[in-house]
Structure 1
Amino acid sequence: MRLENYIDHTLLKADATDSEIKELCLTAKQHRFYAVCVNGCHVSLAKRLLEGSKVKVAAVIGFPLGATSTPVKVFEASEYVQNGADEIDMVLNIGWLRARQMTTVQDEIAEIKKTIGQKILKVILETCYLTKEEIKWACEAAIAAGADFVKTSTGFGTGGATLEDVAYMHEIVGNRIKIKASGGIKDAKTAREYIKMGVSRIGTSSGVAMVAP
C-alpha cells in the first residue's frame, strides 16, 4: 500500500500562520498526500497553493466542539466550498447524540450534505466521549443522512483514534460508508494497522515522518 494515498495532512492548531499553511501545502504536494485538512480561514490560501496538483482541500466545520447551531455549520460548509474546499469534516453535535436526539443529529448531517452536494462529507464522532452504543447511533445517523465518511476524532478531545473503536465502527458500517481514523496517529506502523482494518483515510500532522524512507 502507498501510505501517502491515505493521508489527510493536517494543521488545525489555533495559532497556525499563513507561512505554516504554505509549508503544509508544499509538503503535501511533494509527498503526494491525498489532502490537506485546514481551518476555514485558510481554505482560499490552501486552494491557491495547491492549484495544478491532485491534492484535495478539506475544511473543518463546527470545530472542535460540534456545538455551534445547524445554520452556522451550514453557512460554514457553503462558504468553504465556495472558497475551494473539496471536502468537509464536520463535528456532529455530541450533546444531542448523548441525549438521544437522533432525528436532530441526522437532520443536521443531512442538511450539510445537501448544502455541499457532491463534495465529500466526513462526520467526526469524537469517540473518546461516546459509549459503544452512542458510536453505533452516530454511525447509523451518518449513513442515513448520506455522509461519505465517519471519522473518529478531532484531535482536540480527551483521546484520539483507537484500534478498538475503529474495529467497532467497521463492524457497524461495513461497506456502507468509509472510515477516517484521526487523532494521535504519529507513525507509519500504526497508520498501516488502521488501513489493514479497512480505514480509507488517515488524519495526521505527522505525515512527512510517516512516509520518510
Structure 2
Amino acid sequence: MNISEYIDYTLLNPTTTEREIINLCHDARENNFYAICINTSYVPLAKQILEDTNVKICTVVGFPFGAMSTKAKIYEAKNAIKDGANEIDMVINLGYLKSKNYVSVLKDISDVKLAIGEIPLKVIIEISELNKNEVVKACEICLDAKADFIKTSTGFSKSGATFTAVKIIKKIVKDAMKIKASGGISNYDTAHKFIEAGADRIGTSSALDIVKDDILSKLEA
C-alpha cells in the first residue's frame, strides 16, 4: 500500500503563513500526496504552485463550527472552486442536528452539493460532539444529500477520529460514500489501522512523519 495516495496533507491553523503554505505544497509535490487541505484564502497561492501536478487542492467551508448560513457556505464553496479548489470539506450544522431539525441539516448539505456539482463534497460531522445515534443520523442525512464523503472531525474540537466512529460510519454508508478520517492521526500505524477500519482518505498535519515511518518500516522489513 502506498500511504501517500490516501493522505490529505492538512494545514488549517489560523496563524498559517504564506511561507508555510508554499512549503506544504512543495512537500505534497515531493511525496505525491493525494491532496492538500487548506483554508480558502490560500487556494490561489496553492493553485499557482501545484498547477502542473496531480496533487488536489482541498479547502474547508463553514469552518470550523458549521453554524453560518447555507448561503454563506455556498458562496464560500463556489468562490474557492473558482480560485482553484478541487474538493470541498464542509462542516455540518451541529446546532440543527442537536435540535433534531433534520430537514434543515439535509437542506444545508444538499444545497451546497447542488451548487458545486461534480466537485467532491466531504461533510465534516465532528464526531466528538455527537453520540452514537447522532453519528448514525448524520450519516443517513449525508447519504440522502448525496454527499461524496463523510469526514470525522475538524481537528478543532475535543478530539479527532476514532476507530469506533469510522466503523460505525462504514456500517451505515457501506460503499455508497467514502470516509475521511481526520484529527489526531500522527503516525503510520494509526493511519494504516484507520484505512483497515474503512477510511478512504486520511486528513493529517503529520503527513511527513507518516511517510517517514512507512519508509523506515520497509527498510527494516
Whether TM-score is above 0.5 comes out as: yes
Cα offset, 1:93, TM superposition: 0.3
Matched with 2:125 is 125
- Provide the C-alpha distance between the structure 2 equivalents of 1:173 and 1:75, rounded to a whole number of angstroms: 28
Cα offset, 1:68, TM superposition: 0.8
- Provide the C-alpha distance between the structure 2 equivalents of 1:129 and 1:11, rounded to a whole number of angstroms: 22
- Provide the C-alpha distance between the structure 1 equivalents of 2:205 and 2:73, rounded to a whole number of angstroms: 24
- Provide the C-alpha distance between the structure 2 equivalents of 1:66 and 1:32, rounded to a whole number of angstroms: 30
- Which residue identity does 1:34 align to in structure 2? Y
* Larger Rg, first or second structure (1 or 2): 2
Matched with 1:194 is 194
Give percent identity, aligned residues only: 46
Matched with 1:98 is 98
Matched with 2:83 is 83
- Provide the C-alpha distance between the structure 2 equivalents of 1:100 and 1:159, rounded to a whole number of angstroms: 23
1:46-101 deviations in whole A, cap 9, x for unaligned?
Answer: 11110110000001000000111111001000100110100000000001001111
Matched with 1:7 is 7
Cα offset, 1:45, TM superposition: 0.6
Aligned length: 213
- Provide the C-alpha distance between the structure 2 equivalents of 1:129 and 1:169, rounded to a whole number of angstroms: 15
1:96-120 deviations in whole A, cap 9, x for unaligned?
Answer: 0011111110111011011111100
Matched with 1:158 is 158
In the alignment, structure 1 residue 72 sits paired with structure 2 residue 79: no
Matched with 1:34 is 34
- Which residue identity does 2:113 align to in structure 1? K
Matched with 1:115 is 115
Is the partner of 2:167 in helix, strand or coil?
helix
1:149-204 deviations in whole A, cap 9, x for unaligned?
Answer: 00000000011001111111111111110000000000000000011112100000
Is the partner of 1:138 in helix, strand or coil?
helix
Cα offset, 1:2, TM superposition: 0.6
- Provide the C-alpha distance between the structure 1 equivalents of 2:10 and 2:107, rounded to a whole number of angstroms: 28
Matched with 2:170 is 170
- Which residue identity does 1:117 align to in structure 2? G
Cα offset, 1:34, TM superposition: 0.2
Q: CA RMSD, aligned part only?
A: 0.6
Give TM-score, length-normalised by structure 1: 0.99
Structure 1: any 5+ residue segments left out of the alignment? Answer: none
Structure 2 matches for 1:140-151, cutoff 5 A? 140-151=140-151
- Which residue identity does 2:156 align to in structure 1? F
Matched with 2:219 is none
Structure 2 matches for 1:29-68, cutoff 5 A? 29-68=29-68
Cα offset, 1:40, TM superposition: 0.5
- Provide the C-alpha distance between the structure 2 equivalents of 1:116 and 1:45, rounded to a whole number of angstroms: 21
- Which residue identity does 1:61 align to in structure 2? V
